Each structure stands twice: as structure tokens, then as C-alpha cells.
Amino acid sequence: MSTITAAITAVGAYVPDFVLTNDILQTMVDTNDEWITARTGIKERRILKDDSKGTSYLAIMAAKDLMAKANLNPLEIDLVIVATATADMPVASTAAYVATEIGATNAFGYDLQAACSSFLFGMSTAAAYIQSGRYKKVLLIGADKMSSIVDYTDRATCIIFGDGAGAVLFEPNHEGLGLQDEYLRSDGVGRDFLKITAGGSLMPTTIDTVKDKKHNIIQDGKTVFKYAVTNMADASEQILKRNNLTNHDVDWLVPHQANKRIIDATAQRMNLEDSKVLMNIERYGNTTSATLPLVLSDFEKQFKKGDTIIFAAFGGGFTWGAIYLKWAYDKK
């Protein structure tokens, strides 16, 4: 019997209709298009304006897109993982709700939270279930409604984040394609530099925490940038060294879309030419758990069976890492 590897066999995505441009933002906070573009590479981001809809809506729409394109029967799905930092609500699993709503009633589901590394860590988790031989179809969704936790009077964060979702299907492969290796790390030193202060067990919700905006995301931009540049590049370099890969062996870099300067630094460390570095940050901003699958969706037609793809991400906590994957299909 050949060794089972876990391959991505289908991709889906969804972004809301409303486009929040830099020009609109400069009417809300003290900023401008030139300043935002130079520091982040972002021109616009999508926002889910309907307050009655949460992250689950984004995830459901991305899952439905995947199922329609792949002609996938939801009853065949064994597991639904929703990678997210903005679950619909505490305690009740967003993934369980998503699975039910898409008709995956034979699946179990749960959420995975590792900030902006959630989808990357989810890839490792989904692949492990497939490689165990126990499950045949694992649906991994990266979704975040970041607008629900952003303070739109804080120009340090409101210019960065957007809403969106992407989904991939992992299935067994017997050709040696799919996930090959991973280098995943975390360090609690980052706990205070990128966070939401209140709403958890450490600081439960009170009238004062709401008044003081302690339920919005805050970050120490300079510190986060420094750690992100170093660690995302280090992880990518490590994955190349461990697998005896050179820059010529890499077909594509799929990096977390947090900041164009971080992406550029990672690509430079890998000595990759610009044409191999995939970016859509200009149009979506940082959608947190959705950035990696949204890149896959946008560039899916360019991938060829057997292509070597390196995924890299960095998130709050701190969390970071890189994954080496062999693409498993040609887009028809």
C-alpha cells in the first residue's frame, strides 16, 4: 500500500461586496492613500456591512463556492475545521454551525484559533487527519469578520484589516502530492503586542471595558512588524533547508497578506523572483485567517500539478510557520 499524503483537491472563496477604499478611510481617520499604500501595500478591503451576519456567513459562502465548483456532496465531508479569530460567539462552535448549514451532517466540526496563523496551523491539522487514514474529506475554512473587532477611530489598525473567507478540501493522495513538511512555532512573548484585552476569562466584559474600547484589537505595530519580518522569513528559510530546496525549486510563495513589506522581506530571504510571490493584499487587506486560501482562490488557474508551493504566516500570540506543499491538480 502506498503512503497516504494529504492533498488540496478543491478551493473556494467569498468576499463581501462593500469595498472600503483608502479614500473612504481618510474621511474617517487622519490618514491618506499615499501613507497607507507606502506602509502596507493596501488600497482597499472588503467589509461585511450586515450586522446580523457573522464570520459563519463568510465561511458558509466560501464552503458553498467550493462545493459548487468541485461538485462535492456535503454528506461526504468527514470534518469541518473553521480557522478564525472572530468566532460568531464564545462557547458555541462556529464550525459546528457552518457544517450544519452547508449540509455536512455526517461531519464533526470545531474552531481553530491561532490568530493570523490559524489557517496555516489548520492545514497541518487537516493533513494529519487525512494521513491517519481515518478520514477521506476534510474541509478547512479560513474566515474572519475583522470589522467586528476593529476600532475605526484607530488608524493603526483600521487601515489594515478586512473581511473574507476561503476554503480548501483535503483528500488522500497516493502520488506523493500534497503536504510534504511543516515548520510551525509559537512564542508567548507576543501576548501583549497584538491582542484584544477584554472579553476573555482574564478580563470579563463589564460596562467599563466596553466604554474603554477594550474589546477592539490593538497592536504595537513596530514590535509586531519586527517579529513578523524575522520569524516569517526564518520559517520559510528553514523549510527550504530541511527539504534541500533552492529558490529554483520553488514555484510559488503563498504568504500571509498582512503587510507588503513583510512579504517582500520573506521573498528576499528566499531569493525568489517577484513573479513567484503571490499577493492580493492591495485588494483585500489583512483578512487574518482567510488570507492564504483567498490567495489560492485568486491564483488557482496558474497552479500546475506537481508545483512546489511554500506557505508562510505570522500571527498574534506570537504564532508563525511555513508549510511545503505539492499541488495536486490542474485547474480545468
**Which pLDDT score is estimated for 49?**
97
**Catalytic status, residue 286:** yes
Q: Quote the cell numbers at residue 316.
A: 498574534
Mean local confidence (pLDDT), 176-201: 97
With beta carbons less than 8 A apart as the criterion, state whether 191 and 200 touch. no
CA nearest to 95, candidates 130, 138, 127, 136: 138
If pLDDT is split at 50, 70 and 90, which confidence band does 332 have? confident
Distance CA 269, CA 311 (A): 14
Please name the residue ranges forming H helices in 114-171: 118-131, 155-158
Q: What proportions of the chain, in percent to the nearest 5, are helix, strand and coil?
A: 35, 25, 35
Distance CA 147, CA 139 (A): 25
Is the CA virtual torsion 22, 263, 305, 165 positive or negative?
A: negative
Mean local confidence (pLDDT), 74-79: 98
Amino acid at 229: V
Q: Please, what is the average pLDDT of the chain? A: 97
pLDDT tens readout for residues 154-172: 999 999 999 999 999 999 9
> Angle CA(7)–CA(11)–CA(16) in degrees, nearest 5?
150
Q: Pick the catalytic residue: 22, 173, 256, 259?
A: 256
Q: Which residues contact 225 (CB under 8 A, 6 or more apart)?
A: 259, 261, 262
With beta carbons less than 8 A apart as the criterion, state whether 296 and 317 touch. no
Mean local confidence (pLDDT), 113-117: 98
**Catalytic status, residue 158:** no
**Which pLDDT score is estimated for 299?**
98
Sheet of strand 178-186, all strands in order from the earlier edge strand to the far edge: 178-186, 319-326, 308-315, 252-255
pLDDT tens readout for residues 220-264: 999 999 999 999 999 999 999 999 999 999 999 999 999 999 999
Distance CA 1, CA 15 (A): 41
Q: Pick the catalytic residue: 22, 116, 158, 173?
A: 116
Distance CA 86, CA 39 (A): 25
**Catalytic status, residue 71:** no
Q: Quote the cell numbers at residue 246.
A: 533552492
Mean local confidence (pLDDT), 35-46: 96
**Which pLDDT score is estimated for 105?**
97
Q: Pick the catalytic residue: 216, 231, 259, 286?
A: 286
With beta carbons less than 8 A apart as the criterion, state whether 161 and 16 touch. no
Please check the confidence at residue 1 and state whether its pLDDT lies above 80.
no
**Which pLDDT score is estimated for 331?**
86
How many Å from the N-terminal Cα to the C-terminal Cα in the chain? 29
